[in-house]
A and B are shown apart, each in its own frame.
Chain A
Amino acid sequence: MSHPHTIIGGLLNIVLGLAFALAMAALLTWVERRLLGFLQDRYGPNRAGPFGILQAVADGIKLLFKQDWIPPFADPGVFVLAPAISMVTVMLALAVIPATPVIGIIGNLNVGLLYFLAMGGLGVYSVVLAGWASNNKFSLLGGVRAAAQMVSYEVFMGLALVGVVMLAGSFNLTDIVHSQRHLWYVVPQFVGFIIFFLGGIAETHRLPFDLPEGESELGAGFHTEYSGMKFGMFFIGEYIGIMLVSAMTTVLFLGGWYGPILPPFLWFGIKTGLLIAFFILLRAALPRPRYDQLMSFGWKLLLPLTLLNILVTGALMLAGPAPS
């Protein structure tokens, strides 16, 4: 339905989608700093351009013109590969998000949800390899933390989605949104929603789960040795990751593009935007947990909770009327 049938049309769709995602990521760096500022009773960057909106451009120019430096002790190939993986995986994952029935690159993929999880799983490599290739103990510690954290939280993230898949009866994201026409899944799957969002924060290693970076104890963690545009790619990857998790939560739990009066695309944008703002609020409000607290929180609280969620959902579906 949404697929352009010509190759040119498809390419145009992809290029436009990527350009839009990159532009939004750049804008998001500014939005985050501005919003963080207001949450902390200050202004944030307000110098470059109207309301400081050109700050993103200024940062981009600065990153591009910095010296492209590979430390002599690093593993050069892997060192360059890692930031590319970071950016490419999130951008690939963004392709399956159906913003509206017609806007989206491959929103109709029949295993869209699994594809999203797969790209999330590959995203781990960027952090792990960056940590290893930097050949620096802080980076390595960051990479080790990231590997353990992201592999663990991926499990809960995937399991939290099983409830949604059971209710919708499909891995196709467009179908999942269609099945939320009457009731958003955040209501019947509230536990899944919370756990998916927590897993999303851990996957994008955003605060408060930013232990792989952990400025206070690891310098900058896995990207200690990165500078210039290679750091910029991690940066863009992180911000597109935020957009990705927010958009995914919207699609899976908040009814995607459904909403009264306003056009579908706007509804999708509003919901995603609010979730992104919540990400930023989390960063402003919460301190970083200790590493063992993070892991035991995941394995001892979230895992039983997700399994229970699946059990209860399944039992209710068997007991109640057959899903249509």
Chain B
Amino acid sequence: MNATFEISAIVAVLATLMMITRPSAVHALLYLTVSLLAAALVFFVLGAPFAAALEVIIYAGAIMVLFVFVIMMLNIGEAAAAFESTMLKPSAWIGPSVLALLLAIELGSLAVTGGLARPAGSVVGAQAVGIALVGPYMLAVEIASFLLLAGLVAAFHLGRSVTRGD
């Protein structure tokens, strides 16, 4: 299990790095998908199969597909890729990189000193997740559902006005 965890963690980090540096948007999205899949595997190894499955179904299976869908429709060509590469100047990426490095050092030191919580031995099943969602996290779920409903209504409204304008 430990080896699976380490391999998928390394894959996740590498895929994310590749995703940031790809000039082609579709390639970047594919690397992001790989990173999400690796993260799902990490969840699984840590004893949360339900979260892992949801990660794959919702993030990799639905949201990223829609991203790819939109990118496909936009049909970004070579020119846009070239423009993107001009934007990647050191002045643009040095600040965030330093911050990310600090986080990484912090995480590493925690891992070395054993400050990270050990992976839970027990498996968190679907039932436990469900009870947690409608129990202690009820308010958060309701707020999220309000947000989604608002998004749905807004999307519907935007879609309507576009068809009327035609």
Q: Residues of A at under 8 Å CB distance from B?
A: 75, 77-78, 81, 109-111, 114-115, 117-118, 120-122, 124-125, 128-129, 131-132, 140, 143-144, 147-148, 150-151, 154, 158, 171
Contact = CB atoms under 8 A, between A and B. Distances in A.
A158 B126 contact: no
A121 B72 contact: no
B72 A122 contact: no
Counting chain B residues whose Cβ lies within 8 A of the other chain, the interface size class is 20 to 34
A111 B65 contact: no
B19 to A, nearest CB: 14
B54 A122 contact: no
B66 A147 contact: yes
| Residue from B49, B53, B60, B72 having most chain A Cβ neighbours under 10 A | B53
B33 to A, nearest CB: 7
6 contacts: A78-B26, A109-B49, A111-B50, A118-B61, A147-B68, A148-B69
A128 B69 contact: yes
Contact of B72 (A111, A131, A150, A154): A131
Nearest to A124: B65
A245 B65 CA distance: 21
A121 B68 contact: no
Nearest to B123: A110
A78 B27 contact: yes
A264 B136 CA distance: 44
B1 interface: no
B73 A125 contact: no
Which 4 interchain pairs have the tightest Cβ spacing?
A: A121-B61, A114-B53, A118-B56, A147-B69
B57 A114 contact: yes
Given A122-B60, A144-B73, A151-B62, A117 B53 contact: yes
